[in-house]
């Protein structure tokens, strides 16, 4: 596949995938499980994530998928897209479009991805550029709630138990789902430029501040008891803010989040496309259309409250195997194979 990315485009892809669908909701599960020290727990997780990115960069050339791992990753990303689409529709029905037919909302979401992935791969990448001003607008809006924060909510510090640290660490992983796409898009960076630790640190600092601020903001705006009843704290914060230029700020933001989420799903589907068509296959356009038909039909089966709760409860379990364990196995399998081949060639 012909695709060229600048380093800025590459990091923008990662940012959109990581901060897309889950950004409005992961805070509640993290804080409910992690307790008052949740913002500290997530800060530690963010530092670990930076070390993970350093590992990715050092060994990205050794991340070559065999048939088994290619299947596993494609299956994981398909599951991720199905769950994300179901959650998007559920959230839209809850906050802004309760009377809009479900199949229509899902079809509109999927059609954007279909169009982008039937086009040149640059189309899916360039769609993300439209999010830059929208994200800036969102940050300005959320900063308006600063005056309503209760700064004593995060005190006392150091009250979370070991069990809460473990549970909070697990739930915080939801924010970084999809980071394994680093390997998929890294090979398309122009001239395979070296990405040193400073650009990675700057990127992780931006993402970390973005996430950590949302966790701290949620804790400062709501008490721990209130957060047990609030599944999307960012949306509730925006809903409670009063501005003169729009009646409900949360409805305005839901359009930004919807665009954000659609682009995130489009990029995940692009990764499926890259891996699947790394080998020559017949009828590629038909296969892409078939995949998107599945994305219309299968999320409809998950649109019940208990299924949405299951998505929140279990989806984060995919982070450890697909973002940590499998990459380590794949990298070191390929390194050993290359070393064995080089030893054989040198001995001959």
Does the structure show a pLDDT above 70 at 56? Answer: yes
Which residue intervals of the chain are DSSP H helices?
7-19, 26-34, 38-59, 67-95, 102-118, 121-127, 131-143, 162-172, 181-186, 197-221, 224-227, 233-240, 249-276, 284-297, 305-314, 319, 326-347
C-alpha distances (whole Å) from 340 to each of 63, 231, 237 are 17, 52, 57
In angstroms, how far is the first alpha carbon of the chain from the final one? 35
Rounded CA-CA distance 31/208 in Å is 16
Half-sphere exposure of 48 (CA within 13 A, CB side): 14
Taking Cα atoms as reference points, which of 28, 72, 47 lies closest to residue 231?
28
Q: Is 80 exceeded by the pLDDT of residue 159? A: yes
* Confidence check: pLDDT of 75 > 80: yes
Mean pLDDT of 5-18: 92
Average pLDDT score, the chain? 89
pLDDT for residue 2 is more than 70: yes
Q: Give the residue-averaged pLDDT of 322-332.
A: 96
55: pLDDT strictly greater than 90: yes
pLDDT band for 71, please (50, 70, 90 cuts): very high
CB contact set of 108 (below 8 Å; sequence gap of 6+)? none
Highest averaged pLDDT of the listed ranges 120-129, 233-242, 275-284? 275-284
pLDDT tens digits, one per residue of 166-214:
999 999 999 999 999 999 999 999 877 889 999 999 999 999 999 999 9
HSE on the CB side for 337, CA within 13 Å?
10
pTM value?
A: 0.93
pLDDT at 91 over 70: yes
- Residue 267: pLDDT above 90? yes
């Amino acid at each position: 596949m012909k695709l060229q990315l600048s380093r800025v485009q590459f990091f923008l892809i990662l940012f959109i995938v990581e901060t897309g669908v889950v950004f409005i909701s992961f805070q509640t599960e993290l804080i409910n499980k992690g307790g008052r020290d949740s913002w500290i727990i997530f800060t530690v997780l963010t530092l670990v994530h930076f070390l993970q990115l350093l590992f990715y960069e050092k060994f990205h050339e050794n991340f070559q998928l065999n048939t088994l791992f290619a299947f596993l990753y494609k299956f994981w990303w398909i599951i991720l897209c199905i769950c994300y689409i179901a959650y998007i529709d559920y959230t839209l029905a809850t906050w802004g479009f309760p009377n809009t037919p479900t199949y229509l909302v899902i079809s509109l979401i999927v059609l954007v991805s279909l169009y982008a992935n039937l086009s040149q791969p640059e189309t899916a990448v360039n769609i993300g550029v439209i999010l830059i001003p929208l994200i800036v607008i969102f940050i300005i809006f959320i900063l308006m709630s600063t005056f309503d924060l209760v700064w004593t909510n995060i005190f006392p510090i150091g009250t979370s138990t070991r069990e809460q640290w473990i549970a909070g660490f697990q739930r915080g992983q939801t924010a970084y789902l999809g980071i394994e796409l680093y390997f998929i898009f890294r090979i398309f960076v122009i001239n395979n430029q070296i990405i040193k630790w400073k650009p990675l640190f700057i990127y992780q600092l931006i993402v970390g501040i973005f996430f950590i601020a949302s966790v701290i903001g949620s804790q400062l705006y709501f008490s721990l008891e209130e957060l047990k009843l609030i599944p999307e704290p960012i949306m509730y914060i925006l809903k409670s803010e009063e501005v003169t230029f729009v009646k409900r700020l949360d409805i305005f933001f839901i359009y930004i989040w919807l665009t954000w989420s659609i682009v995130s799903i489009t990029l995940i589907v692009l990764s499926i496309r890259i891996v699947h068509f790394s080998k020559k296959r017949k009828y590629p356009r038909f296969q892409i259309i078939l995949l998107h038909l599945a994305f219309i039909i299968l999320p409809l089966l998950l649109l019940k409250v208990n299924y949405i709760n299951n998505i929140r409860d279990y989806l984060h379990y995919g982070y450890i195997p697909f973002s940590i364990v499998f990459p380590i196995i794949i990298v070191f399998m390929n390194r050993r194979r290359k070393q064995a081949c080089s030893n054989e060639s040198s001995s001959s």
